[in-house]
Amino acid sequence: MSSLAIPTSRTKLSISRVTVGRVISGFAVLFLVFDTVIKFTHHPSVAESMTQLGYPVSRALALGVIELLCLTVYLVPRTSVLGAVILTGYLGGAIASHVRVGNPLFSHVLFPIYIAAMLWGGLYLRDARVRSIISAR
């Protein structure tokens, strides 16, 4: 006799929660991968953005490496919480940079918060450790 589990509504709910979490995380990850790749390819928009924010263009590659390392830590399931924490710090630096130069609130200043919310929201849905920490009383 095989030991196949009969799916229940609870199982279906957890599978869909994990799937939704992966999709939400995936959108944030895709944006961050795009952001990293353009830093590595020396895209003209990177030079323009770095100059506008008051940073030397030569630092774009270092920022790309840091972003890629943070993203890698986030993508490994065992270290995803640490990755979310360090990516939140990285995105906080982006927020500070945009505030410092007076960029528009919704399109520039809050955009890193939207990305961080997707990183954490997706992680919350797909990782029981995060749910247990947040729901702990």
Residue 46: give the domain boundaries: 42-132
Domain assignment of residue 104, yes or no: yes
Q: Are 119 and 84 within 8 A, CB to CB?
A: yes
Count of domains forming the chain: 1
Q: Are 50 and 56 within 8 A, CB to CB?
A: yes
Domain assignment of residue 28, yes or no: no
Domain assignment of residue 59, yes or no: yes
Domain assignment of residue 37, yes or no: no
Dump pLDDT digits (tens) for 15-39.
688 999 999 999 999 999 999 999 9
pLDDT attached to residue 70:
97
Domain assignment of residue 107, yes or no: yes
Cα 85 off chain centre by? 10
Q: How many CA atoms lie within 13 A of 16 on its CB side?
A: 7
Dump pLDDT digits (tens) for 109-121.
999 999 999 999 9
At residue 4, does pLDDT exceed 90?
no
C-alpha 17/C-alpha 33 separation (Å) is 24
What is the average per-residue pLDDT within 51-69?
Answer: 96
